[in-house]
Amino acid sequence: MSPVPVTITVNGTPTPAQVEPRTLLVQFLRDQLELTGTHIGCDTSQCGACTVSLNGEAVKSCTMFAVQADGMAVQTIEGIGSMDDLHPIQAAFWEQHGLQCGFCTPGMIMASAEIIRRNPDPSEDEIREQLGGNFCRCTGYHNIVRAISSAAAVMREKGAEAGQAADD
């Protein structure tokens, strides 16, 4: 099939491209844009390694075609923080040893952002339940859950500080 023109805003940059209709969003990100932080860990839409944010909500990027994201905004792990300025979730995974091989980590971090977006103070049970779509083959999840709790606390604190500064 002929390629189709799309413009997807990726990590804040409007990105025009030609994509084949059969191209999955994850393939577009990895193969056309070389954003290889988004991983492919299964072919059954179960593992969550491919999780990205689409218009602010977490999606498994292997479950949709790139053409379906035309006109939308995608954020990948490359866009959430930087080496010099880690996102609080990235910092928490580092500090709480929330990874071993790291393969699942980009998807875990994007899923964590969604968990905290939905509830800035999630309980351990909520975190475990909402992580149900993300598999880790290494860590046993305990430190991942700790990392998400810790990141949520840091983000609440930062939010309170920002609110205080706005009031001053």
Q: Which residues are near ligand FES by CB under 6 A?
A: 40-42, 45-50, 60, 62, 99-105, 136-139
Task: For 11-71, give the DSSP string.
Answer: TTEEEEEEE-TT-BHHHIIIIIS--TTS----SSS-S-TTEEEETTEEEETTSSBGGGGTT
Q: How far is the CB of 165 from ligand FES (least distance, A)?
A: 36
Q: In the complex with ligand FES, which residue's Cβ is closer, 40 or 72? A: 40
In whole angstroms, give the CA distance from residue 75 to residue 97. 24
Q: How far is the CB of 49 from ligand FES (least distance, A)?
A: 5
Q: How far is the CB of 94 from ligand FES (least distance, A)?
A: 13
In whole angstroms, give the CA distance from residue 145 to residue 129. 11
Q: Look at residues 26, 48, 38 and name the one whose alpha carbon lies nearest to residue 135.
A: 48
Tell me the pairing of strands 4-10 and 13-19.
antiparallel
Q: How far is the CB of 25 from ligand FES (least distance, A)?
A: 10
Q: In the complex with ligand FES, which residue's Cβ is closer, 25 or 164? A: 25
Q: In the complex with ligand FES, which residue's Cβ is closer, 42 or 156? A: 42
Q: In the complex with ligand FES, which residue's Cβ is closer, 64 or 156? A: 64
Q: In the complex with ligand FES, which residue's Cβ is closer, 77 or 104? A: 104
